Amino acid sequence: MRTLSIVGARPQFVKIAPVCRAIQRRNAQGGERIDDLIVHTGQHYDPGMSDVFFQELDIPHAGIHLGVGSGSHGQQTARMLEGIERHILEHKPDAVIVYGDTNSTVAGALAAAKLHIRVVHVEAGLRSFNRLMPEEINRVATDHMSDLLLAPTPTAMRNLAAEQLGERSVYTGDVMFDAVLHARERAGESSQVLERLGLETHGYGVVTLHRAENTSASLLREVLATLDEVARSHIRLVFPVHPRTARMLREELADWKPVERLQVIEPLGYLDMIGLVDAARLVLTDSGGLQKEAFFLGVPCVTLRTETEWVETVQGGGNVVTGVARGPVTAAVASWLTMPARPTFGDGHDAPFGHGHAADEIVQALAKG
């Protein structure tokens, strides 16, 4: 079986790594071989958001790099669509595998569907029910174009069934749980991020911000004021700045200076980021992936959005969804800080994310046809 795997953004690099290992295990055991060719769209082209993940996670070299770079949603998706279509026609895969909910995801699905190539969607069925999010549009469109929908949770399976997609859907568990378990062990062996940054275990919080709705100039200024208040009054914060956010800080908010206990740093590699979060007291983020990573690691999360597609983290007691207003955010932080450093919500084993073997389930479902 020949497959093309379409990736282009940091979360997709994390998700594909366990799947690559599962394909290698299957091929070593005999039976029908899966020959997977990775297509890197170049949606994330900064080395700190791309190259380091391939190196640290032992992801096979991308055989094709489209180099699309930045641009509006339409420009970026159009360039991806053109490039992916060209390589599908050249390589004639039996299936195209797409991951998550980025522009790379929807471009890969659309190119394959138009050419009548089987589309396999890893992390299908997520819904925030907020169509203002570009990711929500990408998810819904990709799911309805896909032939095999691989769902990470029972909630995702229910969402797919509600949209009459249940017959194409398989519950596999969450491949990011596989990734976190693998990375946590490796980070414990190799990461020196706490020493480098002068941090003490449980003595700081981690912040990430990257979503478009939080990085407009006006709203970003409000969010930064909230973070300054949290750092000044509650706990030291470490803020690895996403390239999109960094650009806004340079171009629109150059007058902003973080308070002393808000430590702004460059993006981290995956192992350092897992090590940083694993030792943190809490996390504040608008990232869907980091909400789960924190939950798997047993670290409390404050989600800087008005909804989450990962409702299981809220139901499991590890995540509070606050939006970005100062009052709710600081109240949530203060509440977490009254609790033990490691609250008693699960490390993922008690949640419906599977048991760390999602990649093998994905490969098995792929091979069944």
Mention every residue, 6+ apart, whose C-beta is less than 8 A from residue 176.
Answer: 11, 14, 15, 152, 289, 292, 293, 296, 353
Distance CA 270, CA 272 (A): 6
Amino acid at the residue 48: G
Distance CA 23, CA 36 (A): 8
Is residue 79 within 8 A of residue 71, CB to CB? The reply is yes
Is residue 50 within 8 A of residue 67, CB to CB? The reply is no
Catalytic residue status for 116: no
> DSSP state, 47?
G
Phi, psi values for residue 114, rounded to 5°: -65, -25
The catalytic position among 44, 87, 121, 210 is: 210
Phi, psi values for residue 250, rounded to 5°: -70, -45
- DSSP bridge partners of 64: 39
Phi, psi values for residue 121, rounded to 5°: -110, 110
Distance CA 212, CA 136 (A): 13
Phi, psi values for residue 301, rounded to 5°: -130, 140
Beta-sheet strands, E only, within 50-147: 64-65, 95-99, 118-122
Distance CA 67, CA 79 (A): 9
Would you tell me how many other CB atoms lie within 10 Å of the CB of residue 254?
9
Q: Which residues have a catalytic role annotated?
A: 210
